Amino acid sequence: MNTTTAVPAQRLGATALGYPRIGPNRELKRALEAHWSGRLDAAGLEAAAAAVRSGMLDDLSVLDSVPTGTFSFYDHVLDTIVAVDALASRHRRETALASYFAAARGDAEAVPLEMTKWFDTNYHYLVPEIGPETAFAAKPEKAVAEFLEAKERGLDARPVLLGPVSFLLLAKPSEGAPADFVPFDRLGDLVEVYVELLAALGEAGAGLIQLDEPALCADRTTEELAATAAVYRRLVGSAGILVAGGYGPFGEALPVLLEAGVEGVALDLVRGRSDLEALETLDVSRETFLLAGVIDGRNIWRADLAKGAADIARLQAISDRVGVASSSSLLHVPVDLDAEHELPEALTERLAFARQKLREITALADPEGSREARPEAPAAWRDESVRTRLADLGPDADRRLPYVERQAAQAERVALPPLPTTTIGSFPQTAELRNARAAHRRGLMIDADYKSRMKAEVAAVIAEQEKLGLDVLVHGEPERNDMVQYFAEQLTGFATTAGGWVQSYGSRCVRPPVLYGDVARNAPMTVEWTSYAQSLTEKPVKGMLTGPVTILAWSFVRDDQPLADTADQVALALRDEVADLEAAGTAIIQVDEPALRELLPVRAASRAAYRDWATRSFRLATAGVRPETAIHTHLCYSEFGEVIDAIAALDADVTSIEASRSKMEILADLDRADYRSAVGPGVWDIHSPRVPATDDMAEALRLAVAALGPDRVWANPDCGLKTRRYEEVRPSLAGLVEAARIVREQLVSP
């Protein structure tokens, strides 16, 4: 008999690149907010943080290599600022913790660091301010302490730090830096500090250290890549280094890292699959540690383990040292699916939050573990009528008449003064309003009572606006908990979670709905509120919807079909809502797209395709109206320079856009692009509790008129008012109306 001795299959190393750090029930959020309000002292906060870290390690202990240091009191970029001692002097306070929160949140003496979006996610990081004067020094205390916490438990701990290249590429020049200075110029100095950080971790017993270089997932110049090569050649001497990207392919940075001699790379095999093909053609040493990031760190669908295993096998053909990991840090997913009790079973069966993803990773690492392919979505999640309707759309479904013709028709329908004044939609959400919504949701307030409560609020908001003398009114959005969830709750194909929280910034978390199936609208979603508001006033009231791109950006979206297809389905549902609003007599319909910039792909090569589908879905949602019905849109939250073409392609009649902080820079950008319709550049920074000076708002309007001409400018705040209080809103809007009046008068008699 011929027997073959099977070589026992080797267990692969299982790991994750990072873990949610706010606690399964947002414990850290509560502790932080108690601390900030003075109810919890520093020791109490530290105790709460230690408990959160301990819980993270409990979860992570199923892994072979446990990432450490991914806990944060606020933000991991701020942690890195501290680790390299680059806190701005205006943020230095008596204690380290006070300095930390001064930088994160600002205080009486100093404004905080700027905050901006982290790659193409809804996470926000604090932007380091680096100048020629920044005196870097190694402060390894946090990294070492968290490493030791894990090591003392007997875990194989792997410290994680944001790498020096990304740190500087994410930074901005400090105030007063020379005009030609860029933070990246300081790479040579910074790398020496990293050498010290790595040495301190090495002394504490760390073998392998993970340096996150997400900025290498973006397009980089030859000079940047050359500098990256030099940095990593310098660093490999001092520790075993694993470089992680996490936000797409490393692309041309991949050979750079490998040639520099790093011990390993963590590959994003969900969004960066081209790296897999690239590796197959590169001359890779069989000693190179390749981490297969096959478990999606950014979405909540169960993995196709068969596909993951196939990818792992491809890497094993290249290297003898292959491990299994998440594609990015698990920071972007909620902690535990088992805490959800209300989701339909067919959905729960197909989801994985962070804890469940750890199990998928360990299953793939185990030669005996599951290799189950992902089951097809249930037939009940398909809606053939939506699919047929999309397939049958004519080529002009997303086209309107040219703007000039629409404009004439709209001016005839609604007479408005030059520089019409308006707001972005929401009015202050009082505690009482939130309580009423919560009571209704829990079944403690009957529908009729709830409706009359909300209608009373709408009436009050209309009366406020009439009194202020605004030209185009809004109903105030009192019935909306959140601008995406409100629609998700009414559309087929969406589910909402009870506790699926994800950190957005600092202590702030969001609970994205789950878009799991074909999307359809069962009934009008907003018409009753808008019509009621319109019945109370002679002034036009804007209908108020959230656009398809933003609905997708702020949801966990099915990953079994292209985003473009899903966006079109959402667009059709909105198109019907737009039609119903129009039929009810609404003359102006605003479709908000604050996330238009957020989903812009990190790599330039993918951007044109994104612009195409994103703008098409918006047009599909809005182009069904008659020429005399005005479509407005609203954008905020970021600099829009890179999506100006997309803004033009939305083909809205009026675009209100955050502009006050960037001093109206957007106007020049718009002018350069082929944007010909009207703009409402925000003249009041609603993120600040400050009441803006009327003169400043008038000056901003003058700038806008100078750039765009008097017929194309609207006067409005930067964004909705729901986070503000009436004490700020009333004087600010009164000032805005006054500013518009002043500038109008100057138009007539300059």
Q: Site residues for ligand MET, window 477-516 (CB under 6 A)? A: 477, 483
In 245-365, which ranges are E strands?
264-268, 289-295, 321-326
Q: Site residues for ligand MET, window 696-735 (CB under 6 A)? A: 719-720, 722
The Cα–Cα gap between 3 and 491 comes to 60
Buried b (16+ CB within 10 A) or exposed e, 180-212: eeebbbbbeebbebbbbbbebbeebebebbbbb
Tell whether residue 425 is a contact of ligand MET (CB under 6 A).
yes
The Cα–Cα gap between 461 and 471 comes to 14
Nearer to Zn ion, 497 or 633 (CB): 633
Half-sphere exposure in the Cβ direction for 714 (13 Å, CA): 26
Q: Which stretch binds ligand MET (CB under 6 A): 186-194, 353-361, 420-428, 703-711?
A: 420-428
Nearer to ligand MET, 168 or 636 (CB): 636
Tell whether residue 356 is a contact of ligand MET (CB under 6 A).
no
Nearer to Zn ion, 667 or 719 (CB): 719
440 an active-site residue? Answer: no
Structure tokens at 68: 């450490």
- Residue 369 binds which of ligand MET, Zn ion, none (CB < 5-8 A, kind-dependent): none
DSSP assignment of 525-547, as one string?
SSHHHHHHHHHT-SS-BEEEEE-
- Nearest approach, Cβ of residue 76 and Zn ion (Å): 26
- The residue from 299, 426, 586, 694 that contacts ligand MET (CB under 6 A) is 426
- Residue 334 binds which of ligand MET, Zn ion, none (CB < 5-8 A, kind-dependent): none
Tell whether residue 686 is a contact of ligand MET (CB under 6 A).
no
Among candidate residues 545, 542, 528, the one with its CA nearest the CA of residue 462: 542
Nearer to Zn ion, 143 or 595 (CB): 595
Structure tokens at 406: 């629409």
Nearer to ligand MET, 355 or 634 (CB): 634
Give the rounded distance of the alpha carbon of 97 from its chain centre: 26
Contact 733, 470 (CB under 8 A): yes
**How many C-beta neighbours within 10 Å does residue 723 have?**
12
- Residue 483 binds which of ligand MET, Zn ion, none (CB < 5-8 A, kind-dependent): ligand MET
Catalytic residue among 76, 332, 632, 687: 687
Nearer to ligand MET, 426 or 694 (CB): 426
Tell whether residue 117 is a contact of ligand MET (CB under 6 A).
no
Q: Which stretch binds ligand MET (CB under 6 A): 97-105, 385-393, 418-426, 725-733?
A: 418-426
- Nearest approach, Cβ of residue 724 and Zn ion (Å): 12
Nearer to ligand MET, 262 or 454 (CB): 454
Give the rounded distance of the alpha carbon of 743 from its chain centre: 37
* 604: DSSP letter: G
Nearer to ligand MET, 131 or 594 (CB): 594
Burial class (CB in 10 A: 0-12, 13-18, 19+), 247: buried
Pattern of binders to ligand MET over 535-574, x per CB under 6 A? ---------x------------------------------
Contact 120, 602 (CB under 8 A): yes
Pattern of binders to ligand MET over 47-76, x per CB under 6 A? ------------------------------
Task: Give the residues lining the site for Zn ion (CB under 5 A).
Answer: 594, 636, 719
Give the list of residues 6+ apart from residue 408 with CB closer than 8 angstroms, or none: none
Among candidate residues 424, 423, 432, 483, the one with its CA nearest the CA of residue 456: 432
DSSP assignment of 668-700, as one string?
HHHHHTT--SEEEEB-S-TTSSSPPPHHHHHHH
- Nearest approach, Cβ of residue 500 and ligand MET (Å): 20
Pattern of binders to ligand MET over 465-484, x per CB under 6 A? ------------x-----x-
Q: Which stretch binds ligand MET (CB under 6 A): 3-11, 422-430, 444-452, 645-653?
A: 422-430
| Interface contacts to ligand MET, rule CB under 6 A | 424-426, 477, 483, 544, 592, 594, 634, 636, 719-720, 722
The set of catalytic residues is 687
